[in-house]
Structure 1
Amino acid sequence: MNNIPVLQPSYDEQTLQELLDVMRSGWVGQGPKCFEFEEKFAEYVGSKYCIMTNSGTSALDLCLKVYDIKGGELITTPMTFVSDAIVGEWNEMEVVFGDIEEDSLCLNPETIFNGVYNQPIDVKAIIVVDSHGRLANIKRIKEICIEKKVKPLIIEDAAHACYTKGAGEFADITIWSFQAVKSLPIFDGGAITTNDEAIYKKLRTLTWLGVEKSTWDRVGKKYTWDYDIRQGQGIKAYMTDVQAVIGLGQLRRLPLTLARRRTIQRRYNEAFKDHAWFEEPAYSETVQYYTPQFEDRDGLSDYLAEKGITTSVHFKPLSEMTYWKKAKKNPLPVTDRVWKNLLSLPVHDNLSDLDIQYIINQVLNFYDTANRR
């Protein structure tokens, strides 16, 4: 039986060799490879500054901390991983969900202040997710905030959009993720990009508990033990050279790996487009997840599992989670309806053409069998 994972990272031989070189160098913490990755990644996504972190979650937390946000309200989408909500609670904020757009699955700007909870008195931040690599409408969100006479920090979670042209262009600050199933996979890691030099400099110390001079900086040509700490906001969130050297290799390969994902997206769309049981997902440049709406989603998932094909649901909304029901203060009709039909099929550059055809054949077989009953 085939055993096809829904997502799977890959690494080329050059990257593996460079990883060994770093591990043999005697320096595996934050150092020259991390700073090289920051410089090259900032250039790649068109940002002035980049700070690498140990995860996308840490990056989100640091975005609130660097702007001294504590308390007030955080608005985000329920169609995301828990990180986008939990960082609000870590910073004593009340979390509120807006609804999504059916085609993009991104936060719908027109719903962020709707329903019972429609008085944006103390909105301090909005975390906007580029769902599945499709860019959220941040320009419209800003327009609505002006209409409502509020000025929250707009954080763009571009974890799915590495790299989609325009990601990071309109938000106040942007985070990225390099977790193992992302389009630029390390094993974990994240980044923050900004065009604000003062914010960049503050972030540099916040990633290491307020320490103002990294160990690598203190080694230099002549080691000095001395450093200072002038504030207590920071967390231990810096990236290591072990992560960074993998990130550099994946950045070099990114155009090819994304092209492969888009090929898989196209093949799935062409195979299923004329069938009533399939609703084609909106186009994604990164194809972080290939997630159409399927009739009898759960039946299809069970059937494919029997055939050795792993699928997933990206995402079971946070508003369906026991703990986070408290953040559902607005009606979420689109989220409540759409997520029950979404199913992610395998999409990654380890899939062979034979694997893709096998998946297509098994999806078609499931619905052919159902129609014959």
Structure 2
Amino acid sequence: MIPIAKPIIGEDEINAVVEVMRSGVIAEGQKVKDFESNFADYVGTSYAVAVNSGTAALHAALLAHGIGNGDEVITPPFTFAATSNSVLFTGAKPVFADIKEDTFNIDPERIIEKITPGTKAIIPVHLYGQSADMKSIMEIAQDNDLIIIEDACQAHGATFEGKKSGSFGTGTFSFYPTKNMTTGEGGIITTNDKTVAEKAKMIRSHGSRQRYYHEMLGYNLRMTDIAAAIGLVQLKKVDEFNDSRIRNAQYLSKSLNNIKGISLPYVDRRCKHVFHQYTVRIRNGITRDEIISLLNKRGIGTGIYYPLPIHKQPFYKDLGYSDSLPVSEKASEEVISLPVHPSITRTDLDTISQTLRELLS
């Protein structure tokens, strides 16, 4: 089977973990501090705060900006549920703005339509490894005095006009095993705001700046030195991983070009798309389920990201959401992601393209 995703863990990562285990300093220690410093340098921000998941990064970032009861946060519905769930964790209300059909990212024009006196922040999602239109989104935020919290959980190393995702506003990243780099499990917040960084550090550690002295309500969201040790090694490799993903995506697009009924990934010329996922749309009459079943029978892994927009999820319908967001709804019915991760070979890519060409011809 050609898997849809595969973490790349080598001897360097294994040795780094063994070193931590032998040191006896396993909880949040120097490795976490080093990882924070190195990741901030990589993204181009003054501060980074490591936590134990991408969801924790979103939650803590929102709280560090003071978002809570009565606030509204605009975000796309075509993303993983953690994006909007994190807004709910704070007591604020997610407000969904539809996406652009080509990039699958939030549509700036739809953001403007959703702004009310209660709007406090925007969470653009850099879906599949391609940045949202941060030029337009930053202008909207500045004109309306809104906070920007970037969901860059799929966009390590992605750029918009040469500037890295996670450096426009407050950035949030995930290091889940399927991401472009991993710490096993983990997340991080990036920011140029010292106050936000200090609050995020307190939030991740029971509201404490000093042990056993609690200044605010906090949680246990700490990253371990084991995770940080893996992250320090992976951070040195992420650009190489991304370059491999980009080459694989370009090869696949060239191989799949001119097949009727399939729309290939669109790359905004202003962006460096790091292809966390290579996502196509199936539009030629054959059902997506049939395509997936046939691909799986041929040993090709696939993914659907995402089969149901958040505003259509049962939990959100129970909360009273009944929006009509047609671009997101249509995308959820058509998208299929194909393997382009660094572990796959040119032979694997040929197998994927030849099989798809055969099935769709």
Q: Give the structure-2-normalised TM-score.
A: 0.91
Give CA deviations for 1:252-292 in whole Å, capped at 9, x if unaligned.
Answer: 11121111111110111011111112211123631000001
Q: Does 1:298 align with 2:289?
A: yes
Paired residue for 1:122, among 79, 98, 118?
118
Whether the 8 Å contact between 2:311 and 2:323 is mirrored in structure 1 is: no
Q: CA deviation at 1:131?
A: 1.1
Q: Find the aligned partners of 2:42 and 2:112 in 1 and give their Cα distance.
A: 35
Question: What's 2:312 paired with?
Answer: 320
Q: Find the aligned partners of 2:195 and 2:216 in 1 and give their Cα distance.
A: 18
Q: Find the aligned partners of 1:145 and 1:332 in 2 and give their Cα distance.
A: 22
Paired residue for 1:331, among 303, 317, 324?
324
Q: CA deviation at 1:327?
A: 6.6
Higher strand share: 2
Matches within 5 A, 1:25-44: 25-44=23-42
Question: What's 1:134 paired with?
Answer: 130
Q: Find the aligned partners of 2:273 and 2:72 in 1 and give their Cα distance.
A: 32
Whether the 8 Å contact between 1:261 and 1:287 is mirrored in structure 2 is: yes
Q: Find the aligned partners of 1:201 and 1:38 in 2 and give their Cα distance.
A: 13
Question: What's 2:145 paired with?
Answer: 151
Q: Find the aligned partners of 2:78 and 2:57 in 1 and give their Cα distance.
A: 19
Whether the 8 Å contact between 2:141 and 2:148 is mirrored in structure 1 is: no
Question: What's 2:98 paired with?
Answer: 99
Question: What's 1:80 paired with?
Answer: 79
Q: Find the aligned partners of 2:138 and 2:347 in 1 and give their Cα distance.
A: 46
Report the CA distance shift for 1:255/1:144 in structure 2 as closer, same or farther (over 3 A): closer
Q: Find the aligned partners of 1:247 and 1:185 in 2 and give their Cα distance.
A: 6
Relative to structure 2, which stretch is displaced further, 3-12 or 119-128? Answer: 119-128
Q: Does 1:160 align with 2:149?
A: no
Q: Find the aligned partners of 2:68 and 2:290 in 1 and give their Cα distance.
A: 45
Whether the 8 Å contact between 1:179 and 1:185 is mirrored in structure 2 is: yes
Letter in 2 for 1:279: S
Whether the 8 Å contact between 1:97 and 1:329 is mirrored in structure 2 is: no
Structure number with greater Rg is: 1
Question: What's 1:6 paired with?
Answer: 4
Q: Find the aligned partners of 1:126 and 1:144 in 2 and give their Cα distance.
A: 10
Q: CA deviation at 1:146?
A: 5.5
Q: Find the aligned partners of 2:298 and 2:246 in 1 and give their Cα distance.
A: 24
Q: CA deviation at 1:228?
A: 4.1
Whether the 8 Å contact between 1:163 and 1:286 is mirrored in structure 2 is: yes
Q: CA deviation at 1:143?
A: 3.2
Question: What's 2:335 paired with?
Answer: 342
Give CA deviations for 1:37-78 in whole Å, capped at 9, x if unaligned.
Answer: 111111111111111110010011111211222112121111
Q: CA deviation at 1:211?
A: 2.3
Relative to structure 2, which stretch is displaced further, 238-247 or 313-322? Answer: 313-322
Q: Find the aligned partners of 1:212 and 1:145 in 2 and give their Cα distance.
A: 31
Secondary structure at the counterpart of residue 209 of structure 1: coil
Q: Give the structure-1-normalised TM-score.
A: 0.88
Secondary structure at the counterpart of residue 128 of structure 1: coil
Is there any run of 5+ residues in structure 2 with no aligned partner, and where? none
- The number of aligned residues is 347
Question: What's 1:223 paired with?
Answer: none
Relative to structure 2, which stretch is displaced further, 329-338 or 190-199? Answer: 329-338
Q: What is the Cα-based RMSD across aligned positions, in Å?
A: 1.8
Letter in 2 for 1:347: V
Whether the 8 Å contact between 1:97 and 1:327 is mirrored in structure 2 is: no
Q: CA deviation at 1:141?
A: 2.7
Relative to structure 2, which stretch is displaced further, 69-78 or 352-361? Answer: 352-361
Matches within 5 A, 1:39-50: 39-50=37-48
Whether the 8 Å contact between 2:209 and 2:215 is mirrored in structure 1 is: no
Matches within 5 A, 1:1-373: 3-71=1-69, 72-114=71-113, 118=114, 120-145=116-141, 150-165=144-159, 166=163, 167-171=165-169, 173-213=170-210, 227-283=211-267, 285-295=273-283, 296=286, 297-316=288-307, 317-325=309-317, 326=319, 328=321, 330-368=323-361
Q: CA deviation at 1:233?
A: 2.0
Q: Find the aligned partners of 2:234 and 2:299 in 1 and give their Cα distance.
A: 28
Q: CA deviation at 1:328?
A: 4.5
Give CA deviations for 1:339-370 in whole Å, capped at 9, x if unaligned.
Answer: 211100012111122222222222122123xx
Q: CA deviation at 1:145?
A: 4.8
Q: CA deviation at 1:119?
A: 5.9
Secondary structure at the counterpart of residue 212 of structure 1: strand
Secondary structure at the counterpart of residue 176 of structure 1: strand
Report the CA distance shift for 1:246/1:94 in structure 2 as closer, same or farther (over 3 A): same
Whether the 8 Å contact between 1:301 and 1:311 is mirrored in structure 2 is: yes
Q: Find the aligned partners of 1:353 and 1:76 in 2 and give their Cα distance.
A: 37
